Structure 1
Amino acid sequence: MITKAVDVLNEFSETEEKLAYQMIRKKKDIQLFASDGIEPYVYLGNTRLEQFNLIFGYIGRGNKAYKACHVSHVDQHVPFVQTPGSFPFRVWVDCRDKSDVSFHITIGNDSIDLSNSQENGETSELLVVFLECPDFVQFSLFDGRVAYQKVSHIFTASKQIMEKMRTIALSMLEESFPGLNEFLLKIEDDLNEEV
């Protein structure tokens, strides 16, 4: 349950309180990815995941020009922060409307809403959420540079597709967060040496 006394899960905005209520009490299809700058938290509904690899990053433009990314891989957690004050960093994925998955992002004290149906003009924001669990992978994307379908939300248990999704997620974030690929390669190399 999200009522644990963890700083990143406290002091929700009004919108976040509503999302948490829908997720926990109403059992709606809402997910939370959060980082306090040290470790990540993943909730799918009111279930907290314990074993996962996660890459989630946001690149904002204009007056919300944040760059924040958190990577967790095999119990190694690293925030890739380009903007001071980027934590807490929370991404709510609202899947209640399957035809228009939307995102609510909190970075520091700011909130950002992203969806296909938003009408606040052109945006070039980028949000990538890649979750890898032992049995499935989920990839969520908002790319404001795309003209029509800005949101993609994919869930699969296919091992072949899992690796391809990871490649896409890393490719989209590497330019804004240099060292991301090297960090993951080092972890993999360390794991291979232990075997």
Structure 2
Amino acid sequence: MNQLETIFEELGISQYLDAFIDQGFDSWDTILDITESDLDALGVKLGHRRKLQRRIANHRGLAPMLSLVSPTRSIEEGGSHVPPNKLTQPTAESKEATTVAKRKYRRHPKPDDKAPERPPSAYVLFSNKMREDLKDQNLSFTEIAKLVGENWQNLNRAEKAPYETQAQEAKEKYNRDMAAYKQTDDYKNYCDYLQEFRNRQAAQGIL
């Protein structure tokens, strides 16, 4: 079970895991950058998103009420509502400065596209099979994700066993492939890139 799957299971929101992964939120680092609009698009219920927000806030060292809150909403909750048309609009100069600042650094390093592909979890294997079974039904993305999550949670240990066995075999193969990859120049070059990336972040006070 990977970190993301473990966190979702601890929070009791495993039914959304497949939807998050399909939309590119496939690691905890990417989840940390998620927004309210993303959660809306993913169909996450309010109570469930609060659980996730609290976990993100704890990770960031913030008060839970501050997580993923938009500037407009923050003003409203502070007791002094300002209509959207009265909010300060960014000037051309501030937009340009923001764009330049964003171009200066990446928040996360580029993934190593030459490394062996990470193995799927048992949940993802089950999800892929169920999606294949449901492909001819006229269901929305959110409906399928919900069905996958609910069906996975309803499986007993024996029913989950084949997927867990397959996932374990894939993990063992990945570990072998990764051990071999670590002996290559490509891996050394990526390690050099990571070190340089961290040094740049440290110099810019990002870490």
Same fold by TM-score greater than 0.5:
no
The structure number with the bigger radius of gyration is 2
Structure number with higher relative contact order (C-alpha < 8 Å, ≥ 6 residues apart): 2
TM-score range for the pair, normalised by the shorter chain length? under 0.3
> Which structure features the higher share of strand residues?
1
The normalised TM-score by structure 1 is 0.26
